[in-house]
Amino acid sequence: MNSTKLNFTLFILIFFLISCSRMYLGKKDYPDFNPELQSNQLGATVLPYEDGLRTTGKSKEYEWWYFDAKLDDGSIAVVYFWKINAIKDIYYIGVNYNKPDGTEYKKIKFFKSKDTFFSKDSCNVQYKNNVFIGNLENYKIKIDPKDFDGFGLDINLYSKISPYRPQDGIINAGKDYFAWLAAVPNGHVSGTLTFKNEQNKITGNGYHDHNWGNIELQKLFDNWLWFRGTVDQYTIIGYELNTSSSRGGYSIPGIFIADSTGIIYENYGQNGIFTSKENLITNLYKKNNEPLFSKLKIITTDDFYLEIEGTDVIENLYLFDVNNIPLLPNLFQFSNIDPYYTRYKSKVILQLPDEMRYEGEGVLEIMDLK
């Protein structure tokens, strides 16, 4: 190849890679996230409609309903119902099942719009015979074994803790936003689980949250770490969200501690709450284009301390594999963009202001959007 052709080929390749990055990450002049301008109008009481359909079907909107359970036999089950409004509307359910002996099952199944149903009044999501229905107190979650290779769930989730959201649960930058509601921070699980077409009764501890937004996640955030778990009588949520440089590059930490009597402590944003991270991940991501860690420490000026450490990988998902758009993974393989979603079985240490120290466990997720 002569130098002219080589230079032209390199130019086309560089132009292509830059175009891919701009398409994925968006422009650089988005409105900044402003900690002082976050929505706080709904009041402390969460209403059933907040767990219903919150998006309107406009392009770029997305929404998902998530559930995980630590079962009494040591297994972990995860279910999530997703809807994405894009050039092509996408509806899918993801399931993960991990047994203590290392056996696992995971699958993502896509559905057609005509096979889905949503309610705005409360959580009522149906994809064919798969359902996620509840009223903030009691939920029915059903996964049809016919859709998931002989794996199924038919369970009830009974909340032990009142729903929670920090302020209105909305992180906004201008008109762009991402929202989160912990509808069931901690609940009792009972019902049946089918694996390889064999059905067994199950009990355990469960969690459900609901997320939605109106702009692609990568155009708000670079990454986040998110934990939910239990320690003795306490229910714990701890997290750190990191906004993209185009949004100001803010760190948004949060902590929630509750028991059966109510909230013991909560803090959100940048008001007396600090984080540090350890355990650099080196073996899970193809490109390692940014440092990501599996251990998160949270400390507050009120002397609450959390130490969260991922131990065993439950799921490590390349996000371009779940978009259901042909050729998209290939389109980005030569760029520096490498988005992953990783979920760990985790251990946690809680230290209270009286220096009482407790140990427990839960689930840590890492969302890498770059």
Same domain (yes/no): 288, 172? no
230-250: pLDDT as tens digits = 999 999 999 999 998 888 888
Domain end call among 215, 239, 265? 215
Shared-domain flag, residues 52 and 201: yes
- For residue 11, being part of any structural domain is answered with no
Q: Are residues 258 and 303 in the same domain?
A: yes
Q: What is the pTM of this model?
A: 0.89
6 domain-assigned: no
Kindly state whether residue 9 falls inside one of the protein's structural domains.
Answer: no
Looking at the fold, whether 225 and 356 belong to one and the same domain comes out as yes
* Domain annotation covers residue 40: no
CATH code of the domain covering residue 182? 2.40.370.10
Residue 9's pLDDT is 38
Q: Is residue 23 part of a domain?
A: no
- Kindly state whether residues 193 and 227 are assigned to the same domain: no
- Provide, rounded to the nearest whole percent, the portion of the chain with pLDDT above 70: 87
Is pLDDT of 99 > 90? yes
User: Does the pLDDT at position 198 exceed 70?
Assistant: yes
Kindly tell me if the per-residue pLDDT of 255 is higher than 70.
yes
**Could you list the residue range(s) of the whole structural domain that residue 341 is in?**
219-370
Establish if 256 belongs to a structural domain.
Answer: yes
- Asked if 85 and 202 sit in the same domain, the reply is yes
Q: Which of 215, 237, 262 delimits the end of a domain?
A: 215
* Total number of domains in the chain: 2
Q: Say whether both 277 and 306 belong to one domain.
A: yes
Mean pLDDT taken over the chain: 88
Q: Which of 189, 215, 241 is the last residue of a domain?
A: 215
Asked if pLDDT for residue 289 goes beyond 90, the answer is no
- Residue 176 confidence class, pLDDT cut points 50, 70, 90: very high
Is residue 361 domain-resident?
yes
Q: Are residues 208 and 235 in the same domain?
A: no
Do 54 and 154 have their domain in common? yes
Assess whether 278 and 162 both reside in one domain. no
**Quick one: average pLDDT of 259-287?**
90
Query: Which 3-state string (H, E, C) describes the chain?
Result: CCHHHHHHHHHHHHHHHHHHHHHHHCCCCCCCCCHHHCCCCCCCCCCHHHHCCCCCCCCCCEEEEEEEEEECCCCEEEEEEEEECCCCCEEEEEEEEECCCCCEEEEEEEECHHHEEECCCCEEEEECCEEEEECCCEEEEEECCCCCCCCEEEEEEEECCCCECCCCCEEEECCEEEEEEEEEEEEEEEEEEEECCEEEEEEEEEEEEEEEECCCHHHCEEEEEEEEEEECCEEEEEEEEEECHHHCCCEEEEEEEEECCEEEEEEECCCCEEEEEEEECCCCCCCCCCCCEEEEEEEECCCCEEEEEEEEEEEEEEHHHHCCCCCHHHHCCCCCCCCEEEEEEEEEEEECCCCCEEEEEEEEEEEECC
